[in-house]
Chain A
């Protein structure tokens, strides 16, 4: 029990020191700016190590981008302005939310199309296999049942 408590405390402390060190390295005047910085560094993608955001990555370029985001926020850029600044240099690639354009629209259309087509397929196959039982068949079945008993 004591062991687990110590471990839990250690893990908690680890997170504290991390948050602390981020705050120390990139100081802001207001809490809102600090929050914006944390959000942006999570949403901006590292151009070198492609499956990490710049907050997670330690690549030099990610460090440089973090520094730039910090600098831009201090200069009074808002969220969209920072994103545009990065997109101008590194393309749409640098932001995790893809823009809506003729090429990316398929990201939204295809899943919807898939759902609709599947529903149609299910409905059609249901209709096709539905068994129609007429009076004559019913009578025949009834006769069979009776003869059994």
Chain B
């Protein structure tokens, strides 16, 4: 009896450790629950990237199921993501870009708006334009309020202007099927 516990206890502990470490191999350290889920879009007033005299607020999302894609021309993964976003747009999804620039230091502002617009035009001419329009996050304040950690990130915003999903990283076929599609379909059916 004593002998059995002598062998069994370390074996059980070891197996427990194995399971724990094995799961760790496939865990994604960047994955975590967004703290903005089921909350309304944060308040903001920001210009359109191409027509800066047009101003948008959080109300622009009301009444339409929207994918808000945070991106920038400097972001390599975003460029890889755009072809898939094009496909989503062709399927009739409403995609809005939240554009933010890396090189603009709000305290100094190294880049002019014209140059940013030029870069965006060139990029989208190359890859196709999946965006209905782009909101220009001038000082990256809205990104901060949204809990953006880097580009690309995508939010699913429902018809009432509530955030229903926050995805860190690029959206591709697999991510869409596993993460977006179930919630998206459900929201469409409620419409």
Contacts and interface: CB of A to CB of B under 8 A. Distances in A.
A99 interface: no
Contacts of B63: none
B145 A61 contact: no
Interface string A66-99: 0110000000000000000001111101000000
Contacts of A59: 150
A88 B39 CA distance: 11
Contacts of A91: 32-35, 147
B140 interface: yes
A61 B168 CA distance: 14
Size class of the A contact interface (CB-based, 8 Å) = 10 to 19
Contacts of B107: 67
A60 B102 contact: yes
Interface in B22-56: 29-30, 32-36
Given A50-B29, A50-B30, A60-B102, A90 B147 contact: yes
A89 B145 contact: yes
Contacts of A68: 144
Contacts of B36: 89
Contacts of A90: 35, 147, 149
Contacts of B34: 91
- The size class of the interface chain B forms with chain A is 10 to 19
B35 A61 contact: no
A48 B106 CA distance: 20
Interface in B143-179: 143-150
B147 A48 contact: no
Contacts of A60: 102, 140, 150
Given A65-B144, A89-B144, A48 B35 contact: no
Contacts of A87: 35
Interface string A42-67: 00000110100000000111001101
A60 B33 CA distance: 22
B146 A89 contact: yes
B150 A89 contact: no
A64 B146 CA distance: 13
A61 B146 contact: no
Contacts of B140: 60, 64
B147 A89 contact: yes
A86 B166 CA distance: 17
Nearest to A46: B149
A61 B150 contact: yes
5 closest A-B pairs by CB = A47-B149, A91-B35, A89-B147, A48-B149, A90-B147
Interface of A: 47-48, 50, 59-61, 64-65, 67-68, 87-91, 93
Given A48-B149, A50-B30, A59-B150, 6 more contacts: A60-B102, A89-B36, A89-B144, A89-B146, A90-B35, A93-B32
18 contacts: A47-B149, A50-B30, A59-B150, A60-B102, A60-B140, A60-B150, A61-B149, A61-B150, A64-B144, A67-B106, A67-B107, A68-B144, A87-B35, A89-B35, A89-B146, A91-B32, A91-B33, A91-B35
